[in-house]
Structure 1
Amino acid sequence: MVTLTPLEAELLEVAGSVPDPELPVVTLRELGVVRAVHVRDADAVEVELTPTYTGCPAVEAMSVDIERALHAHGVREVSVRTVLSPAWSTDDISAEGRRKLREFGIAPPRVREAAEPVGITLGPTRTRGVDMGAALEPIRCPHCGSADTELLSRFSSTACKALRRCLACREPFDHFKEL
């Protein structure tokens, strides 16, 4: 475990408080993409940012927003470095981030038992009970809580989400896919 100086902890909080440009209901810290802040000298910091997936189009906007927030906090020189290893995982989303996604109408990614690869199974799209025999909870509707949902499209408004519909209340909703 890396020990942060009080200044690094403060700057990490500032950088992490930036809203995600695609999901402004959650902060970059809650999403788990701001990994570290390193103080390089009296007026320079480097922020490590891990995108949700390689090629994420929001990385540039996130970087600019982090720079803006740290400049406003009094840091003169800010560099944001994209770090791809270790890769981001939906396991990195905080409990608060998951709660905010659900309240916003997006089914958060399911919590996995262990940090293992997420298998992809092609087949029926309904998710009554346990999804496709996997050890994951069913995808619940963020509107009514029903586990009786179906996949409409493996991709939604962003590549990180799938489009689903609840078969109980008939409302469509995004599901933040497990990665």
Structure 2
Amino acid sequence: MRADAVLDPEDQARIMAALESVPDPEIPVVSVVDLGIVRGVRLDPPAVLITPTYTGCPATLTIQASVRAALDAAGYGGVPIETMLSPPWSTDWISESGRQKLRAYGIAPPSAHTADRVECPQCGSLETIEVSRFGSTPCKALWRCSACLEPFDRFKCH
């Protein structure tokens, strides 16, 4: 595809479908689309719009490279990638499918209605406590279940 071409809704759908297969480099069970990192596809001028989960996220360059490779493989090599920091990424952008995949992987997805009560992704108990605000990546915190005693990561709500 030429860099100066305009996309149509069919291109937009094909691009999003191609990006569904791009895994998050830190949590490979979810795609960058599942996490809401891919904000969408602008038709004119064409661009794939991405927002990292955190400003300065160490995975941003890897995500950009993976998105670029998927675009190239799908025949959209001329479509640029734009990183948008405003509005900042929000856990509200995680799809329901993404939330289910996180839970199945052992990471508690954020939930607005139980912000002070976190469900253990292992046993489902709400008897959980935050061990450390700092988890395995900048966007997660370390929690522990008081029922099954298992530690787990939880996406920080923001």
TM-score by length of 2: 0.88
Report how far residue 96 of structure 1 moved.
0.6
Which entry has the higher C-alpha Rg, 1 or 2?
A: 1
Distance 1:87 1:67 in 2: 22
One-letter amino acid of the counterpart of residue 18, structure 1: V
User: CA RMSD, aligned part only?
Assistant: 1.7
TM-score by length of 1: 0.78
One-letter amino acid of the counterpart of residue 6, structure 1: E
- The sequence identity of aligned pairs, in percent, is 50
Structure 2: which 5+ runs fail to align?
Answer: 1-7
Report how far residue 101 of structure 1 moved.
0.4
SS in 1 for 2:80: strand
Q: Are the counterparts in 2 of residues 16 and 34 from structure 1 also a CA contact under 8 Å?
A: no
SS in 2 for 1:28: coil
Report how far residue 137 of structure 1 moved.
5.8
Q: Are the counterparts in 2 of residues 109 and 175 from structure 1 also a CA contact under 8 Å?
A: yes
**Structure 1 equivalent of residue 97 of structure 2:** 96
Identify which of 18, 26, 33 aligns with 2:22.
18
Distance 1:46 1:15 in 2: 13
Distance 1:40 1:64 in 2: 22
> Relative contact order (C-alpha < 8 Å, sep 6+): which is higher?
2
- Over 6 Å off, 4+ runs: none
CA deviations 1:142-166 (Å, max 9, x no partner) are 1111111111110111011000111
CA deviations 1:121-148 (Å, max 9, x no partner) are xxxxxxxxxxxxxx63610111111111
Distance 1:136 1:70 in 2: 37
**Structure 1 equivalent of residue 5 of structure 2:** none
Report how far residue 76 of structure 1 moved.
2.8
Q: Figure out how many residues of one structure are paired with residues of the other and give that number.
A: 151
One-letter amino acid of the counterpart of residue 38, structure 1: R
CA deviations 1:59-113 (Å, max 9, x no partner) are 110110011011111223242111011211000001110000000000111135x
